[in-house]
Structures are given as C-alpha cells and as structure tokens.
C-alpha cells in the first residue's frame, strides 16, 4: 500500500522516530558514556574543549571586557524593548488582518523561525556562525565577571544545530546583578555586532559591485507581434529616455507612455541604441499606446537593496538573485561567485540580527527573560520588597505572555 505524504509530514515522522530511539538509548545510559544527553527536544553533547581558550582571552583582556559588558547591557536593553514592541505589533496585525500570513511557506525547503524563513544552504551556514558567536561571547563575559564555565557543547533542537556555554550555577547565584546582566547581554550584543559588520560589507563593499549598468527601466523580454520586436529591441537593454524625457523608474516610463497614443512615433533611447518606433495599441485597451515589453525595475530594485531597513527584511534576500541578469555589474568578473558571497553575507547579517533580537525576548529562558528578571528584582527591591518569590512570579507571568505572542505566527502557519 502506497501512502502519499507531504514532505514536511514525512520529515516530522522521521524526526519523531529518531528522538524516540535517542530517548530510549539515553534512558539505558548508552548516550551518557559519550557525554550525550537527551532533554525533551534537545540532544546535547558536553565537553571541556575550548574552556582554556575562553578563560585565557577573558582574563588577558579583563578590563576591556568588563567595560564592554556595560555597553552590552545598554544595547541589549534597547533591543529587548524593540523586540517586545515588534512582537506585540505583529500579533495585533495578524489578529486584525490574518491574510498577511504567507500562504505558500515551503517547510521542506526552509529553516523556520517565527516570522522568519531562510533558504536552507545560506540559512544553515548563517545559523552556525550566529550560534558560535553568541555562545562564545557568553563565555567570555562569564569568565571576565568571575563566573567560571562548567562546560561547552554542541546540540540539536529537533533539527536545528545549537552550541552552548554552561556557566557554573553556584557562580551565577553568588554574582552581582550587574555581572549577571553583562553575561546575559553578551551573546545577543555580539550577534548585533556581526549584523552591523555584515551590513557594512554588504552595502559598502559587495553591493556596489552590482551597481546598475545605467539608471533606467530594464527590458526583461519583448513580446512577439508588437512594435518593440519589429524595431529590434531585445531583453537586457535599459531604457533611459522616452521622447527625449529622462526615465529612471517604471512609474516614469508609464507616465510618459500615458501621454502618447497608438500610431504616435516616439524615440526610445536605451543603453545600447536609439530606436524610432511607431506605437501600437494595447491588447486590453485599444486607446492606450503599447510597445510590447516586459519591464524590470533596475533603478528601484537597487535602491531598495541599498536601503538600511531592507537589510533586516527576509523578502529582500529573495530579490538578491535578480542581480544576476545583464542589468547589473557590467564589468564584474566571476559574477556568480561574488553573488554567492553577497547572499551569504546578507543572510548571515539578517540571521544574526533576528537571532539576537529574538534571544532578547523578555521571556525566560531567553537571555532577554533573564535580563527582564533582573530588572524586575531591582524594581521590586527599590519599592522595599526583597522577596524573590514576588519578582519570580512577575517575571514568570511576563514570560508566559511573550511566549504566547512569540509562538502565535508559527501556530498559524502550521494550522493554515
């Protein structure tokens, strides 16, 4: 009997089976012989390798790390507030307008985080870089603030690779609130630093290599049976002038075309030639002039990629392969290699930003939740109440609230 299952259901069944086997081996003590441990959806491998390196770097430059730790607290606090506001706004948007949810998320071809889908290859590389940077920074600040590292390790959360640094719990309990906050804030701050470096490399070094061959409107292809083909126009050309008027965008081009009628003769200038064309009629509207072109937004696409806000939007990454046509980087050697590097830098920066931001969600066990708990304790103590149970209860309720807000988009994607 043949059962046709969607790929993501098949993957889910395989993963469930794998975890059942691993849990059984863990219960029998087989995994512990190799420093492996199964904890719910987590498979962890602990080791002491690397502790000496982190300890050396932390103590060799301890004054610097202690000062940097204060900057980490400031950056992480601001990011924590941003993350909380962003998730609340996203939840309100989805509740009020559920149609904004993507209808065609391909789970089998994506690494999924709430609100973020990454291409598999670039996503895995970017994720590994982000995790290593995050955990290494936690380790540095932990050692610099006198909280020794108990172990390092690697792991898997269902199918997502992880790395971790495990400080000694006794050291954390005896540390000051400020020292703990520095350690909690270090990982996400390091991710945001990687994002900033990636952004500079992307916008100042790599993307300029793909500058448009000329500002204007690209011709992606011509349509048979219409004036553009008869005049000899071809795909890959960039229109710069219509009737002597400079056009830099599709809106500019369409604005000039609305002033013309079928039968008018117009001069079209491109980056390759000048054409004198008698305009035809639009097949859907005989009163409109029509050249017979499919257009490509050369100038607009490049401007959108250069915009700072675009660097943290996943949909921008889907546009990067469009830089491969003849409209960009005319003199670029090894275009495909540079485009691959460009995409890797983009996804690394984007993932580091969102991993840092999501890790600063004000909910335990995220770093932001631990930071939030310390802030709650400080506030409660200032009000004259030093009962830690009160602070823990408040932080637990805040955590539950934001976990629900955080998981909402994923549940909607799976259900719908």
CA 64 to chain centre: 30
Token representation of residue 121: 């290859």
- CB–CB of 79/360 below 8 Å? yes
DSSP codes, 351-380: HHHHHHHHHTSSSTTSHHHHHHHHHHHHHH
* pLDDT tens, position by position, 238-265: 999 998 899 998 899 989 888 889 888 9
DSSP structural state of residue 107: G
The answer to whether residues 137 and 126 touch, using CB atoms and an 8 Å cutoff, is no
User: 134: which 2 tokens?
Assistant: 């995050």
Q: Please state the φ and ψ torsions of residue 35, each to the nearest 5 degrees.
A: 60, 30
**Residue 165 in contact with residue 136, Cβ under 8 Å?**
yes
Nearest to 350 by CA among 34, 178, 117, 83: 117
Domains of the chain with CATH codes: 41-203+349-415 (no CATH), 217-299 (2.30.42.10)
CA distance 135 to 363: 19
The residue among 235, 236, 284, 287 whose CA lies nearest residue 260 is 287
Give the span between the Cα atoms of 187 and 356, in whole angstroms: 7
Q: How far apart are alpha carbons 372 and 214 in whole angstroms? A: 51
Helix (H, G, I), strand (E, B) or coil at 114: coil
Helices (H) and strands (E) in the chain, counts: 13, 14
For 26-54, the pLDDT digits (tens) are 677 777 777 777 766 667 777 777 788 88
Tallying the residues shown for the chain, one arrives at 416
Report which of 10, 187, 202 is spatially closest to residue 107, judged by C-alpha positions. Answer: 10
> Under a CB-based contact definition with an 8 Å cutoff, are residues 141 and 359 in contact?
no
- What does the alpha-carbon distance between residue 347 and residue 100 come to, in Å, rounded to a whole number? 23
Tokens of 225: 């049976």
Per-residue pLDDT of the chain (416 residues; tens, 9 = 90+): 445 555 556 666 666 676 677 777 767 777 777 777 776 666 777 777 778 888 899 889 999 999 999 999 999 999 999 888 877 877 776 666 655 444 444 444 444 454 456 777 888 888 889 988 998 898 899 989 888 887 777 777 666 666 777 777 777 778 888 898 999 999 999 999 999 999 999 999 999 999 888 888 999 898 888 888 888 998 889 999 998 899 998 899 989 888 889 888 999 999 888 999 898 888 888 888 888 889 999 888 888 888 877 777 777 888 888 887 788 887 788 888 999 999 999 999 998 998 888 888 888 888 888 899 889 888 888 887 777 788 888 888 888 888 888 776 656 655 55
413 closest CA partner among 116, 143, 133, 142: 116
| pLDDT confidence of residue 70 | 93
Say what the pTM is: 0.78
Q: How far apart are CA 65 and CA 63, in angstroms?
A: 6
* H/E run at residue 336: helix 335-359
Largest Cα–Cα distance in the chain? 85
For residue 237, whether the previous peptide bond is cis, meaning omega lies within 30 degrees of 0, is no
Give the span between the Cα atoms of 148 and 134, in whole angstroms: 17
């Amino acid at each position: 009997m043949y059962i046709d299952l969607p790929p993501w259901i098949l993957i889910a069944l395989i993963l469930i089976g794998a975890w059942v086997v691993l849990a059984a081996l863990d219960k029998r003590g087989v995994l512990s012989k190799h420093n492996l441990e199964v904890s719910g959806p987590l498979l962890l491998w602990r080791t002491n390798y690397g502790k000496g390196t982190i300890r050396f770097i932390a103590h060799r430059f301890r004054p610097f790390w202690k000062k940097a730790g204060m900057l980490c607290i400031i950056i992480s606090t601001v990011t924590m507030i941003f993350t909380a506001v962003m998730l609340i706004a996203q939840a309100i948007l989805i509740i009020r307008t559920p149609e904004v949810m993507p209808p065609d998320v391909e789970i089998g071809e994506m690494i999924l985080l709430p609100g973020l889908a990454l291409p598999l290859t670039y996503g895995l590389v970017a994720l590994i870089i982000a995790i290593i940077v995050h955990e290494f920074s936690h380790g540095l600040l932990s050692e610099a603030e006198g909280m020794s590292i108990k172990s390092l390790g690697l792991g898997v959360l269902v199918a997502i690779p992880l790395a971790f640094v495990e400080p000694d719990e006794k050291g954390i309990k005896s540390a000051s609130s400020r020292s703990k906050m520095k350690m909690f804030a270090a990982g996400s701050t390091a991710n945001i630093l990687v994002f900033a470096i990636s952004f500079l490399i992307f916008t100042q070094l790599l993307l300029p290599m793909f500058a448009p061959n000329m500002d204007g409107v690209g011709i992606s292809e011509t349509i048979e049976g219409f004036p553009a083909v008869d005049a000899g126009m071809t795909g890959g050309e960039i229109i710069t002038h219509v009737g002597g008027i400079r056009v830099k965008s599709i809106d500019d081009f369409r604005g000039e075309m609305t002033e013309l009628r079928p039968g008018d003769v117009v001069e079209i200038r491109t980056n390759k030639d000048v054409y004198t064309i008698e305009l035809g009629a639009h097949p859907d509207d005989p009163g409109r002039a029509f050249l017979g072109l499919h257009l490509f937004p050369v100038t607009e696409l490049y401007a959108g990629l250069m915009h700072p806000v675009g660097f943290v939007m996943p949909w921008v990454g889907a546009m990067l392969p469009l830089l491969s046509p003849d409209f960009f980087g005319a003199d670029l050697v090894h275009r495909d290699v540079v485009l691959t590097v460009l995409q890797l830098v983009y996804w690394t920066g984007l993932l580091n930003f969102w991993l840092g931001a999501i890790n600063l969600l004000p909910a335990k066990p995220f770093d932001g939740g631990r930071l939030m708990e310390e802030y709650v304790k400080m506030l409660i103590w200032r009000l004259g109440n030093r009962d830690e149970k009160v602070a823990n209860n408040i932080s637990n309720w805040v955590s539950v609230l934001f976990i629900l807000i955080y998981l909402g988009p994923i549940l909607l994607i799976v259900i719908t």
